[in-house]
Amino acid sequence: MSTIRSATAVAPANIAFIKYWGVQDAARTLPFNGSISLNLDSCLTTTTVTFDPELRDDEVTIALYGRAAEAASGRPRERVVAQLGRLRALAGVATCARVDSANTFPSDAGIASSAAAFAALTLAGATALGLDLDERQLTVLTRRGGSGSACRSIPTGYVEWRIPEGPFDAARWDEESYAVSLAPPEHWALADVVAVVDAGAKKIGSAENHQLAATSAYFPARLAEIPARLAAARDAIARRDLELLGATMEADAVSMHAVCMTSSPPSFYWNAGTLEIIHAVRAWREGGLAAYFTIDAGPNVHVICADGDRDEVARRLGALPGVQFTIANGAGAGARVVG
């Protein structure tokens, strides 16, 4: 490559209703189960990738929310460079790249910033290199970057990350485990109000803990429940049935955390503020407010409700003593090229 080639992409974070938890093949990021999520319209990463023949090494800078851009180092840089390597191998080039990434949301708020980051990086890099990939191929390439949930940030709106039929076969699954949109964001006006009870970074990254899931005696029970939950979530989304989606989503989050708490070594992500919100949300429901919780690999709680209830949910969450701040999102589009 003799000329500079550059592209900019925006990608959303997403919240899983049915969680990806546990990896069968860490090198290819192949999960044990399918998962379903919603893209978030206010939690975005913008990334510019510039392949420049003058560069002697890859340069990665990340501007965390509210802070100046800083050069990445260590593991975060290695993961970005590894993904650039996959892109270069597909394009048959060796040119180094500059990556500039910025978030519109606090990256330590329990919102999957790595999903938005790897979706934006992969789309911007593939576009800059002129790779001819359809959406499915783009989700496969994004998944390989290591934050598996990132593949769900490529298609629009409500998204399923599928696993293939039949027995596990790493080479076949690597080609056939991809993400696809179930419905665009305008299909159903849901909101996700994230209640932050601890803004500190989580102590163990999900990458390590995906490898511990299978050490839990409860993991086979979780996996046995998942096909029915995926079917219920698909059906609930198709029919806009918040009660069904909410009950399914809460059961799945509790099941994932039961696996975490019974893995070896165990992880206890919940703190007192997490439990305070779980009890409050259940009480609000008794009182007629249709709101449901889900929790990723951290203590903060995502409360899902109809978009018309988002201000009331945010007000009530903000009044709980354990809640530091909230971030409200509507249903969002998938990753897109913006420059």
What residues line the site for ligand PMV (CB under 6 A)? 16, 19-21, 35, 112, 114, 147-149, 206-207, 210, 296-297
Q: How far is the CB of 23 from ligand PMV (least distance, A)?
A: 8
Shorter beta-carbon distance to ligand PMV: residue 87 or 159: 159
Shorter beta-carbon distance to ligand PMV: residue 12 or 96: 12
Q: How far is the CB of 15 from ligand PMV (least distance, A)?
A: 7
**Could you give the C-alpha distances from 91 to 128, 129, 176, 338, in angstroms and in order?**
10, 7, 21, 21
Query: Which among 104, 101, 108, 116 is positioned nearest to 37, based on CA atoms?
Result: 116
Shorter beta-carbon distance to ligand PMV: residue 128 or 295: 295
Element (H, E) at 194: strand 190-196
- Interatomic CA distance for residues 108 and 198, integer angstroms: 9
φ, ψ of residue 179 to 5 degrees: the values are -115, 150
Q: How far is the CB of 150 from ligand PMV (least distance, A)?
A: 6
Shorter beta-carbon distance to ligand PMV: residue 19 or 222: 19
User: Taking the CB of residue 73, how many other CB atoms lie within 10 A of it?
Assistant: 9
Q: How far is the CB of 68 from ligand PMV (least distance, A)?
A: 25
- Is residue 236 within 8 A of residue 244, CB to CB? The reply is yes
Shorter beta-carbon distance to ligand PMV: residue 112 or 237: 112
Q: How far is the CB of 51 from ligand PMV (least distance, A)?
A: 26
**Could you give the C-alpha distances from 323 to 29, 109, 320, in angstroms and in order?**
34, 12, 6
Q: How far is the CB of 319 from ligand PMV (least distance, A)?
A: 27
**Could you give the C-alpha distances from 105 to 71, 99, 274, in angstroms and in order?**
19, 19, 20
Beta strands at 301-306 and 5-18: parallel, antiparallel or unpaired:
unpaired
| Geometric angle at alpha carbon 151, from 57 and 179, rounded to 5° | 145
Shorter beta-carbon distance to ligand PMV: residue 5 or 144: 144
